[in-house]
Amino acid sequence: MSTSSFTLAQSNCTVNLPSNLTEQQLLKFTAFKNWISTLQHSLSLQASKQHTFHASPYKLRKIDVQAVDYFGGERIGFIKLQAEISNDEGEKLPGAVFLRGGSVGMLLILQPDDVPQNTETDKHVLLTVQPRIAAGSLALTELPAGMLDDGTFSGTAAKEISEETGLQVPESELINMSELAMANATTTLPRLTSQQHNSQHGEIVVEKLQNAMYPSPGACDEFISLFLYQKRVPRSQLDEWRGKLTGLREEGEKITIKLAKLEDLWKEGGQDAKALAALALYDGLRKEEKI
């Protein structure tokens, strides 16, 4: 039940809060700041006469924050809200939103150093196996990933990889495949609702979405930037890891690591949207000789 409310700055939108969340906490939550800024900018593009909704633009009228989950007692982890967005004819857009912010996924490819360079021969991918209760799983296979905290990678996957294999994954050596791919994207007619000419300034304005994958945009704000890290290692080391990693689950580890052949990633990681998207980006960027 809502216990307080406030009016969002520079709008007529009323925000209703639950008892365990203050206005200041909400406005400082990075996921909320990114989401509301992106949404308000997209709504402003309706001012263009070329926009699909220009004749009857939609407006953000109310936000009901329904629930909040905290990490470690005070840090906001997730927020569930309902946004009321409608036009003057009473037509509404679906507004159920689960806010959790951005994430990073890593495609880590290892190749024996006794094969020719610049080939795809004998490449392997490091995957994690861990409980994912939201999926009803205690052993879901996926790409290593972690949530973004104030713009930096702070997940446990890289730590687990380091502890179990000794493999260090420096952020500075990661290739952002999402950015590389989207830098090459072209604007086509079906995208005219997201890229329009500003009628006042005569310039092109674009929806300010992240250069990332949105795995479930029907209800969640999460965006995932997909990175690539490739390393050549001695075959003996790869063989040692292959034998070691397969047995970790028996030791009671909550997160374990497995090796899969790159050509098998489409099925080994077939239940993980990150893995399938990363593989598509990898193949596409290789075809265009960007990586």
- DSSP state for residue 128 in the 8-state scheme: E
State what percent of residues in the chain have pLDDT above 90. 65
* Residue 183: per-residue pLDDT: 82
Q: How far apart are CA 239 and CA 235, in angstroms?
A: 6
190: Cβ–Cβ under 8 A, 6 or more apart, which residues?
none
- pLDDT, greater one: 74 or 88: 88
Q: How far apart are CA 191 and CA 195, in angstroms?
A: 6
pLDDT tens digits along 57-85: 999 999 999 999 998 878 999 999 999 99
Question: Which sign does the torsion angle of CA 22, 28, 32, 33 carry?
Answer: positive
Task: Tokens for 103, please give them.
Answer: 């994430």
Residue 235's pLDDT band, with cuts at 50, 70 and 90, is: very high
* Residue 199: per-residue pLDDT: 43
Q: How far apart are CA 127 and CA 228, in angstroms?
A: 13
| Least confident interval from 24-28, 63-67, 254-258, 279-283 | 254-258
Q: Whose structure tokens read 């993980």? A: 272
* Residue 250: per-residue pLDDT: 72
Q: How far apart are CA 3 and CA 161, in angstroms?
A: 45
Name the residue among 231, 287, 236 with its Cα closest to residue 106: 231
End-to-end CA distance of the chain: 52
How many CB atoms are closer than 10 A to CB 275? 25
Please compute Rg for the chain using Cα positions. Answer: 22
pTM: 0.86
> What average pLDDT does the segment 234-241 reach?
92
Q: How far apart are CA 100 and CA 220, in angstroms?
A: 8
Name the residue among 92, 71, 66, 68 with its Cα closest to residue 81: 66
Q: How far apart are CA 27 and CA 34, in angstroms?
A: 10
* Residue 254: per-residue pLDDT: 84
pLDDT tens digits along 145-200: 887 665 555 455 677 677 767 888 887 788 999 999 988 565 432 344 445 444 44
Domains of the chain as residue ranges with CATH: 2-99 (no CATH), 103-185+194-287 (3.90.79.10)
Distance between alpha carbon 125 and the CA centroid of its chain, in Å?
20
pLDDT tens digits along 91-140: 999 999 999 999 889 999 999 999 999 999 999 999 999 899 999 999 99
For residue 209, pLDDT beyond 50? yes
* Residue 106 · residue 227 · CB < 8 Å: yes
* Residue 170: per-residue pLDDT: 80
Task: Tokens for 269, please give them.
Answer: 């990681």
- pLDDT, greater one: 223 or 155: 223
- Angle between helix axes 235-245 and 157-165 (nearest 10 degrees) is 110
